[in-house]
């Protein structure tokens, strides 16, 4: 079955300024690259529209949308040291969240088998009451709650491999057993959350799984995490749908972090996720773009994930593997996480 694509040129109208890392060129680089590689025409466009206020209110307090709309209408600016709102950002953010919603609907309705959402601004730092960390509304969290509240799903898994912890997604579902949140991220690092002891509360205890990795982890370390922790955790949870916060800033070429994944490493991660989706939930998986700030790295890493969804072999990229360097010792960390999650 076909692989869905969410994209709208409107996403380029979120103007963060030429020097901001989360700039329109990120998305432009992916789109141009997929077209050059002949993959664009292999994807099935998904018709999208704007998220409504009711959609946003699935996760966010009403005052957040009102504040962003007013700020954009008056010309915008920085809402925190990292996050920019431009005159069209509110409109773009509605379309980004709406794109993820329609991707979930298309997958659940069987129009496509899976989907990749090339959206911006990203979303996983946006908390229920605050926009932050380049993010305005939490696209993936809204899509997850939509699937649960309106599409009669019982369990949704969110897998977040962005280099930064998705504090907003964690906050949205920290006491909710109907969402399993799994995150790999560099730690300690922005936003400062995501210790492995942050495992959920109340009825949601045990459904929040953080893997806070030290800097310099690469393909081998991430592969171990996915094989030894993600796979058994997801199999035990048995989700009806898998959503992926796909950040490519753990690539070794990324300027904002110190991880050492390669495009080949991302291919392996995506292959594991797709295999889990095929095994557990009829292949129903939706990837949504989060971070990634080197234009070459993000383009080839996104292609790696698209190739997995399409069933293509890995296409060798010009950056290759990370230069050789001693790997950090993660043995104790993995043992502690396994013990805490009943995997030991």
168 pLDDT higher than 90: yes
Tens-place pLDDT, residues 227-260? 999 999 999 999 999 999 999 999 999 999 999 9
Alpha helices in the chain (DSSP H): 24-36, 53-56, 62-73, 89-108, 139-150, 167-173, 219-225, 231-237, 263-280, 295-310, 331-340
d(CA 209, CA 160): 10
Tens-place pLDDT, residues 251-266? 999 999 999 999 999 9
Q: Is 326 helix (H, G, I), strand (E, B) or coil?
A: coil
Q: What's residue 171's pLDDT?
A: 98
Distance of CA 180 to the CA centre of its chain: 14
d(CA 208, CA 198): 7
Going by pLDDT thresholds of 50, 70 and 90, the confidence category of residue 139 is very high
Look at residues 234, 236, 254, 252 and name the one whose alpha carbon lies nearest to residue 244: 234
d(CA 257, CA 187): 10
Beta-carbon contacts of residue 54 (< 8 Å; ≥ 6 apart): none
Domain boundaries, the chain: 3-340
180 pLDDT higher than 90: yes
Q: Give catalytic status of residue 146 as yes or no.
A: no
Identify the active-site residue in 125, 146, 185, 251: 125
pTM for the model: 0.98
Tens-place pLDDT, residues 25-63? 999 999 999 999 999 999 999 999 999 999 999 999 999
Beta-carbon contacts of residue 261 (< 8 Å; ≥ 6 apart): 217, 218, 219, 222, 250, 251, 252, 269, 301, 322
Domain boundaries 3-340, CATH class: alpha beta
194 pLDDT higher than 90: yes
Average pLDDT value for the chain: 98
Q: Strands 44-45, 3-6: parallel, antiparallel or unpaired by DSSP?
A: parallel
Q: What's residue 267's pLDDT?
A: 98
Determine the average pLDDT of the residues in 139-157: 98
Q: What's residue 344's pLDDT?
A: 77
Q: What's residue 57's pLDDT?
A: 98
70 pLDDT higher than 80: yes
DSSP lists the bridge partners of residue 136 as: none
Look at residues 158, 147, 307 and name the one whose alpha carbon lies nearest to residue 246: 158
Count the neighbouring beta carbons within 10 Å of the beta carbon of residue 230: 22
Contact status, residue 6 vs residue 46, Cβ threshold 8 Å: yes
Rg of the chain (C-alpha set):
18
CA angle 191–187–322, rounded 5-degree value? 115
1 pLDDT higher than 80: no
């Amino acid at each position: 079955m076909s692989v869905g694509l969410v994209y709208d040129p409107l996403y380029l109208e979120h103007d963060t300024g030429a020097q901001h890392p989360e700039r329109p060129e990120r998305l432009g680089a992916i789109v141009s690259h997929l077209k050059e590689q002949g993959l664009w025409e292999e994807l099935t466009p998904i018709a999208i529209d704007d998220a409504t206020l009711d959609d946003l209110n699935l996760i966010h307090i009403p005052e957040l949308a009102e504040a962003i709309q007013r700020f954009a209408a008056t010309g915008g600016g920085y809402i925190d040291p990292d996050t920019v709102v431009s005159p069209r950002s509110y409109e773009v953010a509605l379309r980004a969240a709406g794109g993820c919603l329609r991707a979930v609907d298309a997958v659940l309705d069987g129009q496509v088998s899976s989907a990749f959402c090339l959206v911006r601004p990203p979303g996983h730092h946006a908390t229920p009451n605050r926009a932050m960390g380049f993010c305005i509304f939490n696209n993936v969290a809204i899509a997850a709650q939509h699937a649960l509240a309106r599409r009669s799903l019982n369990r949704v898994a969110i897998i977040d491999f962005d280099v930064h912890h998705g504090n907003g997604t964690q906050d949205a579902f920290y006491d909710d057993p109907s969402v399993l949140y799994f995150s790999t991220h560099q730690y300690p690092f922005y936003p400062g959350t995501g210790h492995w002891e942050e495992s959920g509360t109340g009825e949601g205890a045990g459904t929040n799984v953080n893997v806070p990795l030290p800097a310099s982890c690469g393909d081998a370390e991430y592969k171990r995490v996915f094989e030894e922790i993600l796979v058994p955790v997801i199999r035990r949870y048995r989700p009806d749908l898998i959503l992926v916060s796909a950040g490519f800033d753990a690539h070794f070429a990324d300027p904002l972090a110190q991880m050492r994944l390669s495009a080949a490493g991302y291919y392996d991660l995506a292959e594991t996720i797709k295999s889990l989706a095929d095994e557990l939930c009829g292949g129903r998986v939706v990837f949504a773009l989060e971070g990634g700030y080197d234009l070459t790295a993000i383009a080839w890493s996104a292609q790696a994930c698209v190739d997995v969804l399409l069933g293509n072999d890995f296409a060798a990229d010009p950056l290759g593997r990370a230069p050789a360097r001693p790997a950090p010792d993660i043995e104790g960390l993995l043992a502690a996480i396994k013990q805490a999650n009943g995997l030991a």
